[in-house]
Amino acid sequence: MTEVDVQLRGVTHQFANGDTPITALENVHLAVPPGAFVSIVGPSGCGKSTLLRLAAGLLTPTAGTVLLAGQPPAQLRAQKQIGWMAQRPALLPWRTIRENIALPGQVNRHPGAALSEGAARSPDDLLQLVGLAEFAHAYPHTLSGGMQQRAALARTLATNAALWLMDEPFAALDELTRERLAEELRELWRQFRPTVLWVTHHLAEAVRLSDRIILLSARPGVISGEIPVTLPHPRDDTASAFQAVLRQARAILQAGGNGRV
């Protein structure tokens, strides 16, 4: 099994933006061990997506270093070890769900090369796993938003990526679908054990899903706190222990930022 840890060392990122550069992130230090599920939370514009794009190697930091399994992100991208999910599932509209999932073209090809359990799964197995077996031959536009994100999830699994970078993939879904998918995603993570960086501005979702929450302050984003979450799964958001973590996170965000979260 490929294990990918994520290291950000003194990472600053500035966007040129004409004459007035924007510092999106400042001196961020982050160490995420292999197989961890870590949420990055903070108000809009605090640099969460920037952090994720830096981790993916889609942006190069102005200062500092990003290392994935000790290598520059481009290296891991070239090895197809990075799975990416965004708010809108980027499914190809002219391909069926099954064809979209088969697209990464790696399923069954590198058994043992990446994730242990994920390595040998066929597109049909993956469709089954995400509850879309009956919709294999449907086209993306005929499915609901939640089903499209399930398909995108199956495609992420099909890449056998050891690192999942997820930029609010459930943000456009209604609350109930969002909660259900969060539970399913957590279960898939348990089976496949990738390293996950999960960006959200939804605090309860971060508490529900992750082992550790990294809190970013308003721009320029600096890490204002970290909270380990050790509650058992599935997590009950009405439980007092859950609410206590939520309060702790909210207090850090309000002290370190503009309190809009």
Of residues 13 through 32, those in contact with ligand ADP by CB under 6 A are 15, 17, 22, 24
**Shorter beta-carbon distance to ligand ADP: residue 79 or 217:** 217
Contact segment (CB under 6 A) with ligand ADP among 42-50, 171-179, 180-188, 189-197 equals 42-50
Q: Least CB distance from residue 219 to ligand ADP, whole Å?
A: 5
Q: Does 200 bind ligand ADP (CB under 6 A)?
A: no
For 169-209, the DSSP string reads TTTTS-HHHHHHHHHHHHHHHHHH--EEEEEES-HHHHHHH
| Other beta carbons within 10 Å of 209 | 25
Question: Two tokens at 31?
Answer: 């160490």
Count of residues touching ligand ADP (by CB under 6 A): 13
Query: Exactly one of 155, 178, 193, 219 binds ligand ADP (CB under 6 A); which one?
Result: 219
Residue 260 engages ligand ADP in binding (rule: CB under 6 A):
no
> Is residue 217 at the binding interface for ligand ADP, with CB under 6 A as the rule?
no
Stretch that binds ligand ADP, among 4-12, 41-49, 121-129, 148-156 (CB under 6 A): 41-49
Query: For residues 46 and 229, which CB has a smaller minimum distance to ligand ADP in the complex?
Result: 46
Site string for ligand ADP, 128-157 (x = CB under 6 A): ------------------------------
Q: Identify the CA nearest to 86 among candidates 149, 146, 128, 140.
A: 149
Sign, Cα dihedral of 102, 104, 109, 111: negative
162: left (phi over 0), alpha (psi -120 to 50) or beta: alpha
Query: Can residue 60 be called a binding residue for ligand ADP (CB under 6 A)?
Result: no
Q: What are phi and psi of 156, to 5 degrees?
A: -60, -40
Sequence-separated (6 or more) residues with CB below 8 Å from residue 204: 237, 246
Reference 50, options 29, 23, 90; nearest CA is: 23
Which positions lie near ligand ADP, rule CB under 6 A? 15, 17, 22, 24, 42, 44-50, 219
